[in-house]
Structure 1
Amino acid sequence: MAAPVENTTRAALIWAGLAAVVIAGFFVTVAILNATVYSAPGFVRGYLDALDRGDTTSALAFAGVTPGPDDVLLTVSEEGRIDDVRIASDLPTARGGRVVAATFTADGIQRRASFAVTRDGVFGGLFSSWSFQTPPTASIEITPSHDPRFTANGVDIRAKGADLAARYTVLAPAVFELAHDTTYLTARAVTSVAASPGSVSKATVDVEPKASFVSKVRTDVTRYLRTTCLPQRVLLPSGCPFGQQVDDRLTGEPTWTMTTYPAVALRPTATSGVWLVADAGGRAHLRVGAQSLYDGHTYTIDQAVPFDVEYLVTIGSDNRLTITPR
């Protein structure tokens, strides 16, 4: 009977040893995870990775931030705009928290940001849970010149007004390419980086007319002068920028031709969506027969008539242009 008892004891010892190895491995795994994935650096790295892959939902959850109605940039993706993320340091604070510093590349420049985090409990009874002591947010102050519309990382944004600086809350590090591209207007893209929590970055979206906009206005002005003004057989064509007073009696109908059409250029006004064609000079030509009231002799008026035009060009909500004399 001794052999069966010895076999049973040996088997029990083997299973007990295996169980001990499994338990020890489990606790070692938990310790490793708490030192890496569920550590303060791991928490910060997870937040930065969410930003970089464009997962704004996860990034906001990490940050503990709920966007309000005006927080339009908080939900705009920063996918692929943060490179070479590395944890540089992890230091304790006097109040038991941690300050984790990370380095990364944004807009081609290596930058550094620090994040204050605190351990706020455990989950599953085993793994550390962390949160930011203060939300990792920054601000970008954006001034959209001449038009309230702009894009941020390709997303359409409309400010409350043109030429007004407005601050937008963003998740830091924030990397936004700001631009404007509508039917008639454009702006060279600028990149604004708010690298660390609490920082403020400033940017101006300098909106200007597209060449096609200037060309269309020039075409419309030229067409109006050619089809509405030149055909009028009067000295002062109605609604037109040119005309000529004659003191003598006319012996025929005035004939107008255009020597030089105005060179149109557009300037912004104080009103969003309204552009100004100012001091554009042209030269018309008047030909008409006349008779002197002084001595009765007849002659031909054949002279150049310089003129300037000034128009307001309004871009409608349907992108139709309205051109009115000023």
Structure 2
Amino acid sequence: MDQPQPTTPRRRRLWVDLTTLAVVGVLLVGAIAAGGAALYKEYYGPGAFVTRYLELLASGRAADALQVPGVAIDRATLEDAGIEETASEALLRQAALAPLTDVDVVNEATVDGVTSVTVSYVAGSHPGKSTFDVEQDGWEGVTPNWRFARTPLAAVSLTVLGSDRFAVNGFEIDRRQVSSAGMEAAPLDALPMLVFTPGLYSITVDTAISSSPGVSILADSPLTQTPVDIQTQPTEEFLSVVQTRVEEFLTECTTQQVLQPTACPFGLEVQNRIEDLPTWTISQQPTVTVEPNGAAWEIPAAEAVAHIEVDIRSLFDGSIEHVSEDVPFRVNGTIDILADGSASIRVGSAGE
């Protein structure tokens, strides 16, 4: 008679097999979950949304960046943030963007449905870090949509002294063309301009009249306004023109054959009577400099010398004396830049 085979070893093997399958299943589910989480973070999460916005800026697609949900801004929001509601949008274009590289999400934190996404990057050659507020904006199938809870736009309030024309990242702008006041804009009025964040904005002036080295502003905080004041300096070409105009003015003054040439900075007073018409020459022209004066320019007082030749008859005894005399004087002036870009130079006499 056959004896029954023991079942314990078989059951133990079955238990081991089932346990192994369970562990494998758990590991598989964990791997799927981890993969799903990584996939979500890389493609569908709030950090991915911000990264796509920055990639648009990095590739120069300014128009597409403006279409990202939550970027476009209304005037009421500008006013609430302390930004002029007439801020120009001239810099929200490809031509005004600087390079943006090495974008990396470094932190995400969610509070009351708003996720703050902090990213690091290099704007131009400057490393920076910015934080953007993002909120869910419905669903697309099983994946969430996102939008900026607060626009990533910011503003610079620009005052350029000595020039109506300047360039931002090489993009040339005439202040009067983008100001809300147009041609009536006062030279000293600040010009508010919207910019993308993050972004590096280098402002330069290089005209025939004035120039300025680049002033770089890193816009890294959404909905903030940064004041920027630039004082230009006269170019050598401008100085040469002013020198020539002053010399021409003084030379023209010498054509007046009177002791006190009208509207001129030099003259001679005598107590007696002149015998004939005096003759003036400029024996020493002034060395002219030009300095900023608010939004305009001025010619600081400079030394010069005129020379007069004249015969004077004495009222006492009728004798005639020939006068050949150097007459020192000081000359200054003001310079206004006209709407057409030309300069109006007014020369005057500097008092002692």
1:264 aligns with 2:288: yes
1:172 aligns with 2:197: yes
1:320 aligns with 2:342: yes
2:304 and 2:331 mapped to 1: Cα distance? 8
Q: In structure 2, do the counterparts of structure 1 residues 277 and 269 end up closer, same or farther at CA, with 3 Å as the change threshold?
A: same
1:142 and 1:41 mapped to 2: Cα distance? 32
Partner of 2:266: 242
TM-score, scaled to structure 2: 0.74
Task: Give the superposition deviation at 1:286.
Answer: 0.9
Equivalent pair of 1:60/1:66 in contact (CA under 8 Å) = no
1:96 and 1:255 mapped to 2: Cα distance? 88
Partner of 1:136: 152
Q: Which has the higher contact order (CA 8 A, sep 6+)?
A: 2
**Per the alignment, in what secondary structure is the counterpart of residue 233 of structure 1?**
coil
Equivalent pair of 2:98/2:200 in contact (CA under 8 Å) = no
Identity %: 28
1:295 aligns with 2:317: yes
Task: Give the superposition deviation at 1:75.
Answer: 1.4
TM-score, scaled to structure 1: 0.79
Equivalent pair of 1:146/1:163 in contact (CA under 8 Å) = no
Equivalent pair of 1:242/1:284 in contact (CA under 8 Å) = yes
1:231 aligns with 2:255: yes
Cα RMSD after superposing both structures: 2.8
Q: In structure 2, do the counterparts of structure 1 residues 168 and 316 end up closer, same or farther at CA, with 3 Å as the change threshold?
A: closer
Q: In structure 2, do the counterparts of structure 1 residues 201 and 323 end up closer, same or farther at CA, with 3 Å as the change threshold?
A: closer
1:82 aligns with 2:100: yes
Equivalent pair of 2:314/2:320 in contact (CA under 8 Å) = yes
**Per the alignment, in what secondary structure is the counterpart of residue 52 of structure 2?**
helix
Equivalent pair of 1:89/1:101 in contact (CA under 8 Å) = yes
Q: Report the more deviating stretch, 125-134 or 184-193.
A: 125-134
**Per the alignment, in what secondary structure is the counterpart of residue 241 of structure 1?**
coil
**Per the alignment, in what secondary structure is the counterpart of residue 36 of structure 1?**
helix
Q: For residue 135 of structure 2, what is the amino acid of its counterpart?
A: T
| Segments ≥4 residues shifted beyond 6 Å | 28-32
Equivalent pair of 1:147/1:163 in contact (CA under 8 Å) = no
Structural mapping, 1:96-107, within 5 Å: 96-106=113-123
Task: Give the superposition deviation at 1:239.
Answer: 3.1
Task: Give the superposition deviation at 1:215.
Answer: 1.0
Equivalent pair of 2:105/2:119 in contact (CA under 8 Å) = yes
Q: In structure 2, do the counterparts of structure 1 residues 290 and 95 end up closer, same or farther at CA, with 3 Å as the change threshold?
A: same
Task: In structure 2, list runs of 5 or more residues that go unmatched.
Answer: 1-33, 76-85, 180-184
1:107 and 1:163 mapped to 2: Cα distance? 30
Task: In structure 1, list runs of 5 or more residues that go unmatched.
Answer: 1-27
Equivalent pair of 1:268/1:275 in contact (CA under 8 Å) = yes
1:282 aligns with 2:304: yes
